[in-house]
Amino acid sequence: MLPRKRQVGGEVVVEEGEPDFANESPIKKLCTDESKGSDCKNTGNSNISSSNSSSSGKPPIMALGNGNSGDIDEDLHSRQLAVYGRETMRRLFASNILVSGMQGLGAEIAKNLVLAGVKSVTLHDEGVVELWDLSGNFFFTEDDVGKNRALACVQKLQELNNAVLISTLTTQLTKEKLSDFQAVVFTDISLDKAIEFDDYCHNHQPPISFIKTEVRGLFGSVFCDFGPEFTVLDVDGEDPHTGIVASISNDNPAMISCVDDERLDFQDGDLVLFTEVHGMTELNDGKPRKIKNARPYSFTIEEDTTNYAGYEKGGIVTQVKQPKVLKFKPLREAVKEPGDFLLIDFSKFDRPPLLHLAFQALDKFISELGRFPVAGSEDDATKFISLVTSINDSSADGRLEEIDQKILRHFAFGARAVLNPMAAMFGGIVGQEVVKACSAKFHPLFQFFYFDSVESLPTEALDPSDLKPLNSRYDAQISVFGAKLQKKLEDSKVFTVGSGALGCEFLKNLALMGVACGQEGKLTITDDDVIEKSNLSRQFLFRDWNIGQAKSTVAATAAALINSRINIEALQNRASPETENVFDDTFWENLDVVINALDNVNARLYIDQRCLYFQKPLLESGTLGAKCNTQMVIPHLTENYGASRDPPEKQAPMCTVHSFPHNIDHCLTWARSEFEGLLEKVPAEVNAYLTNPSEYTTAMKNAGDAQARNNLESVIECLDKERCETFQDCITWARLKFEDYFSNRVKQLTYTFPEDATTSSGTPFWSAPKRFPRPLVFSVDDLSHLQFILAASILRAETFNIAIPDWVKSTQKFADAVNNVMVPEFQPKMDVKIVTDEKATNILPASIDDAAVINELVMKLEKCREQLPPAFKMNPIQFEKDDDTNYHMDVIAGFANMRARNYGIPEVDKLKAKFIAGRIIPAIATSTALATGLVCLELYKVLAGGHKIEDYRNTFANLALPLFSMAEPVPPKVIKHQDMSWTVWDRWIIKDNPTLKQLLNWLKEKGLNAYSISYGSCLLYNSMFPKHRERMDKHMVDLARDVAKAELPSYRNHFDVVVACEDDEDNDIDIPQISIYFK
């Protein structure tokens, strides 16, 4: 590989051996768009100052990929780029933000903005850190008590992203100072002052986006004012919907039908553009047309096509996304006329208007008495309720008929507390609103948002004395939940699975809440992954010097810095059947709750089954870009995670990917497959053969199938005619591959199926969605052709351990070397079979003489081996998407785009190719924070105990829209038999090492006739087999060991069997799993 090294500041230093084509640069600099007058930021040194220093890097001589990426560190921000795109990121990089009020909520907002990579964040707070603040702000420690809050946050906040300029204001804020910012956020401000500041921001030119947000105990609010006219450029962040046209009628209105391989996502009123329509070319005029009568596979347009030319074939229809203009009211008006509130929980449809009054009343209470209501004080609660009543009575419009005094009492008692889960949740929501304000990406909150989680309170009434402060870091939390629940939190035993983005947020939240911080408590976290650079934009407990270290260990150390009392054990084991000796029965039985922080469904299903088995609560969550969801799995109350599944993702048929692609995803799927075949699998096969030739060839002979034949042919080709000894050989290989893939194969395909070919039924073969391909003509003057050859040559040289010569840095010399390659003339063949069956799963044709051919190939392979130098070994290349200097994505993007060019499919840049081929999951810090905040609000309920199913909440949220949907979980399915009932949560236990006869009798007493008993996949008993009756007096554990060959480890005291039963009327009864205890 070309030598290239990174300096601390993120720039790339070019050394000898760098190729020499000046066009674009894979250098990643954390630098805002200079054309907008923004400053560059050095990523190596702290930026706690009022000015930024520049970083610069010498561009490589031939750059691959896309030329617009020089201002964004794609290695760091790849997951965020997948959500926002480059343009939004550039706007963020140019944005200056003020966050006022650095208690827990302000800290969470600032954290999310710094991770997002805004240009600067100014922290404002005139107050000092109190012990009370430590339950909300993860930057504070006991040593910070007495220091200014803003100053206490700066250093740790700066560590999250050295590219962001962080400064502080510790004196009184004037409205004129707000003109320095694109957006301002206030988390602790009086209503009068907020109105004054908002008036200034609303009338400023250009308007300054103003956000007022508060977290008061289990209640929270957000108000947004982005100015008189705010244009949202992209309301949902989704890619424009598309469809492939199958027919268009000459009618008024015209009916458009699309191919039925995918449902259309168009809605009535959408605007769409037509391209590539043959025949009715009038629709290709670039004019957006409005959709009516949208159906799954058809729609009409408001157009008379009666006199247009008749539709022949082809056509792509693409949604045109429209900007939306929002007219925000200033706070002064909106307080009196709030308009519609965003409803998030249908069981609380009347709650937002009440909370609108409550937050105004709290402001009045503080202004009159100079303090918050005291937790547990009935006098203060009464005073607060009277203020709410007074404001309500003076409301001309929207006066509430009924005031819920119980809710208001809870509000008053917890009003001073900033709880960490609430701060995390609102930090995610408000952080996203700031991104919207700066970038015009996604639809803003319009304009008030209210939320409460009173269900998180203990079910029994709290004694006022239990709410009094204990002079501890948890006093704020105690003022809401009481000291008894605090003790339960501290003594809880928690298993957190995963320490990535979700895991980091969870650990921070748990440490601040005091979970597992008592003498009896323990938090176990496990993750088998190590830290990569791309993690750092979300997984905020990690720093760049942690890259390569174990995630769980670093995260646990960071959690202990947040709260030194946390009892945490970090493991690097993947929770799976293979590690049940680590996570054994005793481990599971001692747990109070399990929190999943996983990124794949299979792991979630495994943990779900373990929680079902041991009857442990499971708190589940996940994110996808701006979306997140949470699911509470509570023993005997709710269904389990695996009870409902999303439908599997639709896979493109094999023949579509290999011969008939019609979108860029198909091209990229094919490109990654070819990359792995050529550069990883074939070299690995070569090494497998060379390591033990006789064993390898015997295995191939024994297999004797098309796959074995193909493996041998690939190894022979690699070691014979395609073996490379010099870099020029690698160039030759790459140039011939280009000709084969993008010219010869296309010529063969169109020879076999000409443009006018028809199917057996007489319809055109090249009907939608098939696209007729055209071969490419190679030219060194086409930079994309040359870039592909260069990247492919370099990786080919890597597989053969060939050094890269200095001369490749010369454009002309490299082009000459490519031109020197002799490319043979291609002649299409008559008898080539090309798979067109969409149900086919294998493109390798089977042959009756595979075995005979394999014997010949083995002999040929032996001759090839004799020609190899001693100790010859290849270097297989494993695809790594997150290193932009390794040429992997250059080859894959080149493969995909050349193929797209063959088929007339729009090409993509390297970044987009990375998202699709690398299967990158879009991720941002804000949705992660929201999800974990919501889960921790549920954790209070789980550890308190006694809550009913209607107290729990599952949530789906989409911060882009914004949409919040909360509902109580679904109960488990109940099975009834006689006077018994059970659910998936039940497990029947039979002790004292029973015999088979005793087990059958035990079931018979329940009115159940067992006809089949199995352990794993082995049948221990079946009533149809007479010989099985001889097993009646044998102990079940002996049957498991003797018949099923069960290996029961010494720590295991039981095993499980699955029993099939009937009732006395021969109806099958689905009974729970049975655990047989033999010790």
Residues forming the active site: 655
Q: Are 305 and 252 in contact (CB under 8 A)?
A: yes
Residue 689 neighbours by CB distance under 10 Å: 23
CA distance 571 to 590: 17
- Find the helix or strand (DSSP H, E) in which 798 lies: helix 783-799
CA distance 372 to 651: 58
Q: Which two tokens stand for residue 676?
A: 């792995």
Q: Which value, in Å, is the radius of gyration of the alpha carbons in the chain?
A: 33
Q: Are 146 and 129 in contact (CB under 8 A)?
A: yes
Q: Are 521 and 515 in contact (CB under 8 A)?
A: yes
CA distance 108 to 187: 11
Peptide bond into 447 cis (omega under 30): yes
CA distance 118 to 500: 22
CA distance 908 to 916: 10
First to last CA, the chain: 60
- Find the helix or strand (DSSP H, E) in which 964 lies: strand 963-967
Residues 6+ apart with CB under 8 A from 1078: 993, 1035, 1036, 1037, 1053, 1054, 1055
Q: Are 1053 and 1078 in contact (CB under 8 A)?
A: yes
Rounded to 10 degrees, the C-alpha dihedral 155/159/163/165 comes to -20
Whose CA is closest to 421, among 927, 926, 923, 940?
940
Q: Which two tokens stand for residue 479?
A: 């003022």
Residues 6+ apart with CB under 8 A from 396: none
Residues 6+ apart with CB under 8 A from 499: 507, 525, 526, 527, 541, 551, 552, 555, 556, 570, 597
- Determine phi and psi for 111, rounding to 5 degrees: -55, -50
Q: Are 984 and 973 in contact (CB under 8 A)?
A: yes
Distance of CA 714 to the CA centre of its chain: 37
Whose CA is closest to 215, among 924, 928, 929, 925?
929
Q: Helix or strand or coil: residue 534?
A: helix
Residue 498's alpha-carbon distances to 495, 528, 575, 919, in angstroms, are: 10, 8, 9, 20
Angle at 642 between CA 639 and CA 647, to 5 degrees: 120
Whose CA is closest to 650, among 669, 627, 631?
669
What one-character-per-residue DSSP string does 826-872 give? P---SS------TT----SPP-TTHHHHHHHHHHHHHHHHHTSPTT-
Residue 229 neighbours by CB distance under 10 Å: 10
CA distance 641 to 971: 12
- For residue 804, the cross-strand partners are none
- Determine phi and psi for 477, rounding to 5 degrees: -70, -40
Q: Helix or strand or coil: residue 398?
A: coil
